[in-house]
Amino acid sequence: MSDITADAVVVGSGFAGALLADRLADRGIRTAILEAGPRVNRARAFETFLGAVVKTPESPYERSPEADFPKSEDPDHWYRQSGPDKFKSTYLKAVGGTSWHWLGTCVRFLPSDFQLRSRFGRAVDWPICYDEIEPFYVAAERELGVAGDSADDLGSPRSGPFPMPPIPASWLDGACERVLADTPWRVRPTPQARNSEAHQGRPACCGSASCIPICPVAAKYDATVHLRRAEAQGAALHEQTTATFVETGDDMRVTAIRFTRPDGSSGVARGRVYVLAANAVETPRLLLHSRSERTPGGVANASDQVGRNLMDHPIQLSWALAKDPVWPYRGPLSTSAIENTRDGSFRRERSALRIEIGNNGWTWPTGGAPELAGQFARRGLRGKPLRAAVADHAAREVRLAALTEQLPEPDNRVLLDERERDPFGVPLPQMHYRVGAYARAGLAEAQRIHDRIFARLNASETHHSDTWQGAGHILGTTRMGNDPRRSVVDRDLRCHDHPNLFLVGGGAFPTGSTANPTLTIAALALRAAGAVTATLSG
The burial class, CB within 10 Å (0-12 / 13-18 / 19+), for 454 is buried
Q: What is the DSSP letter of 205?
A: P
Q: What does 65-105 look like in DSSP terms, one character per residue?
A: TTB---BTTBTTSS-EEEEES--------STTGGGGS---B
CA distance 363 to 64: 28
CA distance 103 to 356: 11
Q: What does 474-527 look like in DSSP terms, one character per residue?
A: -B-SS-B-S-TTT-SB-TTSBBSS-TTEEE-SGGG-SS--SS-SHHHHHHHHHH
Question: Hey, is 237 helix, strand or coil?
Answer: strand
- Inter-residue contact 124 to 142 (CB < 8 Å): no
Beta strands in 143-299 (DSSP E): 187-189, 236-238, 242-248, 254-260, 266-270, 273-276
Pairing status of strand 187-189 against strand 336-338 = antiparallel
Question: Hey, is 216 helix, strand or coil?
Answer: coil
Distances (CA, A) of 121 to 286, 344, 350: 33, 13, 12
- Straight-line distance from the first to the last Cα atom of the chain, in angstroms, rounded to the nearest whole number: 31
Q: Residue 386: how many CB atoms within 10 A of its CB? A: 16
CA distance 480 to 187: 33
- Inter-residue contact 233 to 24 (CB < 8 Å): no
CA distance 306 to 271: 23
Q: Residue 238: how many CB atoms within 10 A of its CB? A: 20
Q: Which of 161, 147, 159 is nearest to 199 (CA)?
A: 147
- Inter-residue contact 493 to 273 (CB < 8 Å): no
Helices and strands, counts by H and E, the chain: 12, 18
Distances (CA, A) of 298 to 257, 287, 340, 376: 14, 5, 42, 57
Catalytic residue positions, numbered: 473
